[in-house]
Structure 1
């Protein structure tokens, strides 16, 4: 149980860092992390991510270039 929590925390932190690198506005990056996405079964990226595989799935949903929004 503890290892699963550590994996999740690490994956969420890495995804959050990636989101912040893709959005100029950090508030937008945080909103992206917490926003529900139909591609993730109605979950937010923050809720969906539990390991490296699910982190990678969410990474594919980030804008490919740095967003001005």
Structure 2
């Protein structure tokens, strides 16, 4: 896991995630409403960092050809 960006540390090992419009205040050991950020010991970590979300393979013939 990688430490997330765009958050603010609060007291009692809580964090305020500022990445999306939900603006979650997350307690230690909990995940945010989006389920992709988790508070571990007062630091916010990304649970989806370095994970592939989609792979698409398109043939070159689908691309427009101008000549």
Give TM-score, length-normalised by structure 1.
0.24
More helix by share: 1
Rg (Cα) greater in structure: 2
Give TM-score, length-normalised by structure 2.
0.25
More strand by share: 2
> RCO greater where, 1 or 2, for CA within 8 Å and sep 6 or more?
1
